[in-house]
Amino acid sequence: LLNANERFFLIDCGEGTQIQLRKYRIRFGKINHIFISHLHGDHIFGLFGLISSFNLVGRTATLHIFGPDQIEELILDHLKFFQNDLSFEIAVHKFQHHRPATILKDSNVEVITIPLKHRVPTCGFLFREMQVPRNIKKEMVEKYSIPIRDIVKIKEGKDYKTSQGKTIPNSELTLPPFRTRSYAYCSDTAYSEDVIEIVKHVDILYHETTFLNKDKDLAAETLHSTSREAAEIASKAEVRKLLIGHFSSRYKSYDTFEKEAQEVFPETTAVNDGDVFSVSRVRGKSMT
């Protein structure tokens, strides 16, 4: 679950999603966009319970669902059998899984697909804030009595010329804008270096790691990643922080996952349901 600029995005939907949302007190009405990485049960079965719960509470806002090609058919079939009188519209947005594409963009955020290597068409998602204009210093507006038409230009980075013909440099008039923050989500996938360029320098990379390095043959066979492989992607992409999860139930303890990844990429944390990670807003140059 991602909260970007106070808008909530739900990424992947395992069974019992609506129960989890209630448990963590996430208001249903806040979720308007759902991104499905691939059509395996542990990543989509929760969607139908969630649609049903939204209907029960009388939702009216359109729900946007993004997913690989076959998702439309899957949703339409489900609705035909179980739910033909919804209180809200569902807008299904299909994407191709072969190359990265921008699938959502507005004044706050853009979402780009990350093609992954799995047994079925699969994409991760890169969420990136849009660059906002520079902030003008209020005291400068007063000091030079800057008219509104010039304020817009100054916010875009222009210098200001006073009525006496003196040029005031932009750096004196404005504060640098907030750095754009970014988060990348990579679901089940075999080790894929194609990911590196897309997730370069993100603030947080979540990368699923189903197996430990000692089972790397099994990981390769089933097109999943080991903990070490996820850390190698994080290291090569020079991300700020790596989160790992989705460990196979074949392991009795999950402690080793974090240790294995940290050997390659120290800034790694193994996540649990309900964990919250924040990226603070700072002024300055963006890395991405």
- Which residues sit at the interface with Zn ion, rule CB under 5 A? 40, 42, 188
CA 187 to chain centroid? 11
Closer residue to Zn ion in complex, CB, 7/117: 117
Q: At what angle do helices 227-236 and 255-264 cross, to 10 degrees?
A: 30
Q: How far is the CB of 248 from Zn ion (least distance, A)?
A: 9
Residue matched to tokens 């959502």: 104
**Whole-number Cα distances in Å, 258 to 49, 151, 209, 214, 231:** 32, 50, 10, 14, 10
- Helices and strands, number each (H, E), in the chain: 10, 16
- Report, in Å, the least distance between residue 122 CB and Zn ion: 7
- State the nearest-atom distance from the C-beta of 97 to Zn ion, in Å: 13
CB of 41 to Zn ion, least distance (A): 8
Q: 42, 150, 215, 275: which one is catalytic?
A: 42
Angle made by CA atoms 52, 53, 57, in degrees to the nearest 5? 120
Q: Name the nearest CA neighbour of 211 among 193, 190, 235.
A: 190
| Closer of 122 and 182 to Zn ion (Cβ) | 122
Closest residue by Cα to residue 115 from 69, 72, 75: 69
Q: Which is nearer to Zn ion, 40 or 78 (CB)?
A: 40
With respect to Zn ion, which residue has the nearer C-beta, 55 or 248? 248
Q: What is the CA radius of gyration of the chain?
A: 22
CB of 272 to Zn ion, least distance (A): 17
Q: Which two tokens stand for residue 13?
A: 């939907």
Residues 283, 109, 126, 30: is their CA dihedral positive or negative?
positive
Q: How many residues in the chain?
A: 288
CB crowding 67-105: b at 16 or more within 10 Å, else e: bbeebeebbeeeeeeeeeeeeeebebeebebeebeebbe
Is 42 among the catalytic positions?
yes
- Of 42 and 72, the one with the shorter C-beta distance to Zn ion is 42
Least distance (Å) from Zn ion to the CB of residue 36?
A: 11
Catalytic residues: 42
